[in-house]
Amino acid sequence: MKKNNKLINWQADRSKYPEMDKNGKAIIDLSSQKFTKIWQGPNHPGVTGNMSLELTLSGDEVVDAKTHVGYLHRGFEKLMERRIYIKCFPTCIRMCVPEADSNEYVLASCIEDLAGVEVPEIALWLRTLVLEMARLQMLLRTVPGQASTLSLGLGGQWGMYLRDLILDRFEELTGGRVYHMFIIPGGVRGYLPDGFKERMEENLKEIDEFIVKIEDLIFTNSIFKKRTVGVGIIDPAWVDQYGIVGPNARAAGFKRDVRKDYPYLKYSELDFDPYTATDSDIYTRSQVRKHDLIMTVDLIRQILAKMPKKGDLRAETPNVLHWKIPKGETYQRSESSRGEFGMYMVSDGSKYPRRVNLRGPSYTHAVSLLEKMLINANIADVHSIMVSLQTCPPEIER
Amino acid sequence: MQKIINKLETIFEISDVVKQRDNLNFLTCKKEQAISVITHLKNIEGFSHLVLLSAVDWLEDGKFQLTYILNNPDKKIDISIRVFLDRDNATMDSAHHLWKHVATYQRELKEMFGIDFPGSPRVDESFILEGWDNIPPYRRDFDTLKYAEETFFPREGRDSNDPAEHMKKKLYPDEEK
């Protein structure tokens, strides 16, 4: 069949309508009855968590978008200023529920950096394992979840089943499924249980099969490709302008990964190479996340093979109930499944933190970037674009 | 890193340089020079990634501290700029022309600390709090416990242990049994 290039390359003529002001922003007069204002969220199956988008539509095309957050605001950072450091952990982990271990890690490492605590070898390995397991369960939701936004729900349900297996492993290692509280200042709470490696290997084999099968189920699916290739493009020039990090930046050709660039824990002893691509559309971002999933499975195998059997779990620290952290300030970062996840902490030398500020990737991705990307998008693509940025609202309103 | 800081010291008034780690330095600069220092670091020294913009309330000194953490992705180093503002009538020059996402940080700081950034886009729009009429809540003199007690307590207890009866009373207080 002869390709109709004219049709493929068709672009809507925006020279006359909607009218633009001198800054290139659409002039919106709601009383003209040419525009419709709708709210997507806070209760909407296509919204990632508790946030909403105020969309102004012209026909089925978005001409203006505003992100609204605050549905989950409990003032976590303010509450932590009233708590001793050890009591900050249960508050901190709620700042991003699906991947709570990154929160634990950055909080613990800020405290250790200010107090000058050296974490023992085995604890470093166990922390690396926990962070990779958290990434794995998150990616098992996100990679097939992208197809779910386009009504291809089978992969999503399959991924949730596999995620549950990883939560089983979390439960036997830490006692908790979603919130683990495994990483504590100075180390971790426990060793690997007997038979953990074998059970994890069984789960990883199932995930290996899943990765092969989602290639046919999702990535070569013609509808998935039609709806995601060339849609939701992030211009590489935006990466620094909008503070884009993680898989969203790697899909735009930037080889940025905190694990490689600023090696922490035991990542310098592991063999991995973050995948980058250049097309920077929804499809490419999904591909980058799929390769992250493959890499994470490999990293967990490497970590379990290198895991020491004996050693101290925790460094000696003062009594955590009366621990005064020396005066100072620091910033610590880790690579979450969504990108650079950091914490800025200021101590005034007392038992309570003076200021804790979380830097979540969604803060930039879901507000300034999403508002920019949604302009001229079709209403049917809005949730797909949003999920492709992997936003997590509690990071914004913490 | 040391070369960059030495260069900054020759051009601007820099003080309190603290080397937290090999790749992380904190330094203080004057409020009037802050945007120039940040622009210099971004455009000349390659600190193209703004990691975060945050504020600390030093109530006892009557100061707000603004912290801009800048990252150089090529050299893989961070410099953190501290700027001190008077707590009364706190205003700071906007940096929204340097990075697009700064406007979001500035909007949040206006709402949570009451620090104004004149000229920053949508800085007066509420970001997280809607209809807030108290002092900005992240200031140290805002007492969360007192606020919660005044706003949410005392709560009326239950008259009955029967959930059906309790809900009936709650939903239809005027209706007789």
Asked whether the bond before A247 is cis by omega within 30 degrees of 0, the reply is no
Phi, psi of B65 (to 5 degrees): -110, 125
With CA atoms as reference, the chain A residue closest to B56 would be A355
Inter-chain CB proximity A346 and B56 less than 8 Å:
yes
**Would you kindly state where each structural domain of chain B is located, as residue ranges?**
2-171
pLDDT at A194: 94
**Which CB contacts under 8 angstroms, 24+ apart, belong to A200-205?**
A200/A169, A200/A300, A200/A304, A201/A301, A201/A304, A203/A162, A203/A165, A203/A166, A203/A168, A203/A169, A204/A297, A204/A300, A204/A301
Tell me which amino acid residue B5 is.
I
**How close, in Å, is residue B61 to chain A by CA atoms?**
13
Who's near B135: CB < 8 A, 6+ residues apart?
A: B114, B141, B142
- According to DSSP, residue A310 is labeled S
Closest CB to B104: pick one of A81, A262, A363: A363
**Residues of chain A with C-beta less than 8 angstroms from the C-beta of B24:** 330-331
* Selection from B83, B32, B23 nearest residue B53 by Cα: B83
pLDDT at A9: 63
**Touching check for B75 and chain A: CB below 8 Å?**
no
Residue with tokens 């490492």: A109
Closest CB to B137: pick one of A78, A242, A369: A78
Residue with tokens 């525009």: A35
* Selection from B40, B132, B140, B111 nearest residue B81 by Cα: B40
Question: Hey, what's the torsion of the CAs at A374, A380, A381, A387, to 10 degrees?
Answer: 100
Low-confidence winner among A25-29, A83-87, A105-109, B88-92 (lowest mean pLDDT)? A25-29
Spell out the domains of chain A, with CATH numbers in brackets. 5-68 (no CATH), 76-360 (1.10.645.10)
Residue-wise pLDDT for A65-80, tens only, equals 999 988 888 889 999 9
* pLDDT at residue A263 is higher than 80: yes
**DSSP assignments along B105-116, one per residue:** HHHHHHHHH--B
Inter-chain CB proximity B20 and A330 less than 8 Å:
yes
Residue-wise pLDDT for A297-355, tens only, equals 999 999 999 999 889 999 999 999 999 999 999 999 999 999 999 999 999 999 999 99
**Touching check for B19 and chain A: CB below 8 Å?**
no
Residue-wise pLDDT for A348-361, tens only, equals 999 999 999 999 99
Inter-chain CB proximity A261 and B73 less than 8 Å:
yes
* Selection from A305, A279, A274, A309 nearest residue A289 by Cα: A274
Who's near A299: CB < 8 A, 6+ residues apart?
A: A132, A270, A272
Q: What does the pLDDT average to over A161-171? A: 96
* pLDDT at residue B144 is higher than 80: yes
> Are residues A272 and A294 in contact, defined by beta-carbon separation less than 8 angstroms?
no
**Predicted complex ipTM:** 0.91
Model confidence band, residue A4 (pLDDT cutoffs 50, 70, 90): low
pLDDT at A8: 59
Q: What CATH class does B2-171 carry? A: alpha beta
With CA atoms as reference, the chain B residue closest to A79 would be B144
Cβ neighbours of B126 (radius 10 Å): 14
Inter-chain CB proximity B100 and A78 less than 8 Å:
no
**How close, in Å, is residue A302 to chain B by CA atoms?**
26
* Helical spans, DSSP H, in chain A: 5-8, 76-80, 88-92, 100-115, 121-148, 153-174, 196-214, 222-228, 238-241, 246-250, 258-261, 282-306, 362-364, 370-373, 382-388, 394-397
pLDDT at B177: 55
* pLDDT at residue A379 is higher than 60: yes
**How close, in Å, is residue B39 to chain A by CA atoms?**
13
Can you give the pTM of this predicted structure? 0.91
| CA distances to A48, A135, A387, B155 from A141, in Å | 12, 10, 11, 40
Tokens found for residue A243: 């503070």
> Are residues A291 and A159 in contact, defined by beta-carbon separation less than 8 angstroms?
no
* pLDDT at residue A25 is higher than 90: no
Cα B48 → chain centroid: 21
Low-confidence winner among A19-28, A108-117, A211-220, B41-50 (lowest mean pLDDT)? A19-28
Cα–Cα dist A125/A82, whole Å: 32
Q: Is the dihedral of CA A263, A267, A269, A270 positive or negative?
A: negative
Inter-chain CB proximity B26 and A329 less than 8 Å:
yes
Inter-chain CB proximity A364 and B137 less than 8 Å:
no
Inter-chain CB proximity B101 and A355 less than 8 Å:
no
Q: What does the pLDDT average to over A92-119? A: 92
* Selection from B39, B164, B167 nearest residue B94 by Cα: B39
**Residues of chain B with C-beta less than 8 angstroms from the C-beta of A238:** 100
With CA atoms as reference, the chain B residue closest to A71 would be B128
**Residues of chain B with C-beta less than 8 angstroms from the C-beta of A355:** 54-57
> Are residues B59 and B10 in contact, defined by beta-carbon separation less than 8 angstroms?
no
Who's near B173: CB < 8 A, 6+ residues apart?
A: none
* Helical spans, DSSP H, in A61-152: 76-80, 88-92, 100-115, 121-148
pLDDT at A393: 85
Tell me which amino acid residue A167 is.
L
With CA atoms as reference, the chain B residue closest to A239 would be B49
* Selection from B150, B64, B55, B155 nearest residue B105 by Cα: B55
* pLDDT at residue A3 is higher than 60: no
Model confidence band, residue B176 (pLDDT cutoffs 50, 70, 90): low
> Are residues B166 and B158 in contact, defined by beta-carbon separation less than 8 angstroms?
yes
Residue-wise pLDDT for A268-288, tens only, equals 999 999 999 999 999 999 999
* Helical spans, DSSP H, in A229-274: 238-241, 246-250, 258-261
Q: Which residues pair with A187 in a beta bridge?
A: A184, A314
> Are residues B14 and B5 in contact, defined by beta-carbon separation less than 8 angstroms?
yes
Closest CB to A241: pick one of B80, B99, B140: B99
Inter-chain CB proximity B128 and A242 less than 8 Å:
no
Ordered strands of the A36-40 beta sheet: A36-40, A52-58, A61-68
Cβ neighbours of A361 (radius 10 Å): 28
* pLDDT at residue A41 is higher than 90: no
pLDDT at A2: 54
- According to DSSP, residue A234 is labeled P
